[in-house]
Structure 1
Amino acid sequence: MNGLNLIPLSDAPYRAKDFKSDQEVRWCPGCGDYVVLNAVQAFLPTLGIKRENLVFISGIGCSSRFPYYLNTYGMHSIHGRAPAIATGLAVSRPDLSVWVVTGDGDALSIGGNHFIHALRRNVNLKILLFNNRIYGLTKGQYSPTSEAGKVTTSTPMGSLDHPFNPVSLALGAEATFVARAIDSDRKGLTEVLEAAAHHRGSAFIEIYQNCPIFNQGAFDALKTEEGESQLLRLRAGVEVGGKVHDPGDPDPTGAFALSRMTDRTPIGIFRQVERPTYDDLAREQVARAREAGAPDLQRLLDGHDTWIVA
């Protein structure tokens, strides 16, 4: 979080309630979004970042109401385009901690292009993808993560599509931080949120969460005592399949293999590596161009300190 306006943690005046807005939280009873919101509001005070230096940008969908409920800056933006808007903000304002809140439909369907390129570029922003495997806001159509054969309002005879694996997709796009959490595991969710917040570069977290109206129980099998044995909690140094898990390995092959597991469900941090960020490099390039004093380029740059890269 280099360059941010930090408050010494010992003097931080914030508590969880300070990050709650005056807006009525309006999700369906039992929605996993409530758990994620509460977890975010609880961990934000620990970061030592002033509220005016925090920005949450969302697209369209149930999860995209998130900015209304946080007492920070935020934007409820365009369907699928939140990463593009967040990129422009991250490039032009290095003093901000920029977050994107999106859903499996918003990010992986209409927003798929913006999603993968934000990760590929390693823009310094954090993407929280709420995955309930359904379109909830538009009343239960299948999404890019719905399982094959899924019967929905838009696929009454079963979906013919093969679903995305969001973690595999993020790793394939060379994201420098990739993790997965479950809405019912508040401790594990908070751990990956904190790690993502301190990561310099693109950080992606897939969050399994429940839609009680249109896809009730999508992940219930993982939330029982028996389901706990199906979870593989990723920790650095833990042996997995005869290999020691190392999220800091620059080669993403091991992390990708974990993302393809079918007998167990890995949660936690798959990958956490360092690479120059797009926004840092862009600002350095602009500075070099100004120092070079090229007349035509200088005229182009003058008065255009904000660059939005779609």
Structure 2
Amino acid sequence: MNEMTKIAVQTTLKDWETDQEVRWCPGCGDYAILKAVQRTLPELGADPANTVFVSGIGCSSRFPYYIESYGFHTIHGRAPAFATGIKLANPDLDVWLVTGDGDGMSIGGNHTMHILRRNVNVQILLFNNEIYGLTKGQFSPTSREGTNSPTSPLGSVDRPASPCAFALGSGARFIARAYDVSKNLGGVLKAAHRHRGASFVEIFQNCIVYNKDRFDDFVAKGVADQNQLWVEDGQPMLFGSEKSGGIKGIALDIETLSLKVVDVADGDWQAAGVIVHNAKNRAIAHMLVEMPFGPFPMALGVIYDDPRPTYEDTLLGQDAKSREGKDANLAKLLAKGQTWTVSGTAADPV
């Protein structure tokens, strides 16, 4: 059955819950992400018998146990390789890949790069808590400079990796961001599922034990208004409110070819030069994911969405074309070309 003609299946959240006890630390952001996914799958018309969740190693990678569908809990960093194989074996399957900032950006960084550049049609959810949670709090590739941990007691001196910038640099055609308890997470997941190709979603996730409230600088209620920029294709890049110090926007500085924050007076965003988000603009997408937080808000939502042919469509199409007009006859193939006949018996002299 072609992916574009799949028949929607009616399910509820309960249909996607397993009999397994969900075991994360109390207060972990993974609980909220799990519920968001379980609520979204029925809205997508997804079929549990046609859905596969693949994970590597880490707290986030327990995910397949908690989704009532097919699942693979694989090895550290190699989930993209398994997901690619699954998709090539049966392109009609709806494949979701769940990973973390350690699993997907450190030991699995090369595998993440390849599934993105190949554009395999899977949804990739990277939970970013900026720490190694499962192995007890070591700093991870995304940990901020100065992070105190068992492996950096004086503060990490590493410059953190940006998962979305990495994905764009790897050739990804869909990039999005959200956070664990956001009401918009479901919408982002739906957009990722609609995209034909590798969809990369970075989800900021609170590690209650080893990196508690790390993202409060932009998710806490008192600051969310002025510190979150939710982008939407075709809409101006506005954030803030009159209650939080005024409405602001993101504009392009023509002289430096960089982004800047501008004040929006009387709601006239056009006069302020605010950019209208174009999800197909790769250059602006790069600027948005690399905006330094502090002088700029955190860019969230669907930042880039520009589909191209998927890996499996291209590869399997190439295979089908190569077989056109050919006779699938193994005996005939073995007898073709240089062949020879051995006569006589074992008793004959050589």
Q: Would you call these one fold, judging by a TM-score over 0.5?
A: yes
Structure 2 CA distance, aligned partners of 1:173 and 1:215?
28
Q: Name the residue aligned to 1:287.
A: 320
Q: Name the residue aligned to 1:190.
A: 186
Deviation at 1:159?
1.2
Report the 3-state secondary structure (helix = DSSP H, G, I; strand = E; otherwise coil) of the residue aligned with 1:216: coil
Q: Deviations over 1:161-201 (max 9, x none)?
A: 1110111111111211100001121x210001001111110
Q: Identical aligned pairs, as a percentage?
A: 51
Q: Deviations over 1:44-66 (max 9, x none)?
A: 01122221110000000000000
Aligned ranges 1:96-245 → 2 under 5 Å = 96-185=93-182, 187-222=183-218, 223-239=220-236, 240-241=250-251, 242-245=274-277
Q: Name the residue aligned to 2:288.
A: 258
Q: Which runs of 5+ in 2 are unaligned?
A: 237-249, 252-273, 335-350
Deviation at 1:294?
8.7
Normalising by structure 1, we get a TM-score of: 0.90
The structure 2 residue matched to 1:35, chosen from 14, 26, 32, is: 32
Deviation at 1:299?
7.0
Q: Deviations over 1:73-94 (max 9, x none)?
A: 0000010000111011111211
The structure 2 residue matched to 1:270, chosen from 303, 306, 325, is: 303
Structure 2 CA distance, aligned partners of 1:124 and 1:183?
24
Normalising by structure 2, we get a TM-score of: 0.80
Report the 3-state secondary structure (helix = DSSP H, G, I; strand = E; otherwise coil) of the residue aligned with 1:229: helix
| Cα 1:30–1:296 shift into 2, 3 Å | same
Structure 1 CA distance, aligned partners of 2:210 and 2:333?
54
Q: Deviations over 1:191-213 (max 9, x none)?
A: 01001111110000000010010
Instruction: With a CA cutoff of 8 Å and minimum separation of 6, indicate the structure with the bigger relative contact order.
Output: 1
Higher Rg of the two aligned structures: 2
Report the 3-state secondary structure (helix = DSSP H, G, I; strand = E; otherwise coil) of the residue aligned with 1:42: helix
Deviation at 1:13?
3.3
Structure 2 CA distance, aligned partners of 1:198 and 1:121?
18
Q: Name the residue aligned to 1:308.
A: none
Q: Deviations over 1:131-158 (max 9, x none)?
A: 0000000000000000112110111111
Structure 2 CA distance, aligned partners of 1:133 and 1:292?
54
- Which of the two has greater helix per residue? 1
Structure 2 CA distance, aligned partners of 1:2 and 1:153?
50
**Does the 8 Å CA contact 1:6/1:50 hold for their aligned counterparts?**
no
**Does the 8 Å CA contact 1:5/1:50 hold for their aligned counterparts?**
no
Matching residue's letter, 2:278: D
Structure 1 segments, 4+ long, off by >6 Å, are 294-300
Structure 1 CA distance, aligned partners of 2:50 and 2:18?
16
CA RMSD of aligned residues (A): 2.0
**Does the 8 Å CA contact 1:90/1:98 hold for their aligned counterparts?**
yes
Report the 3-state secondary structure (helix = DSSP H, G, I; strand = E; otherwise coil) of the residue aligned with 1:84: helix
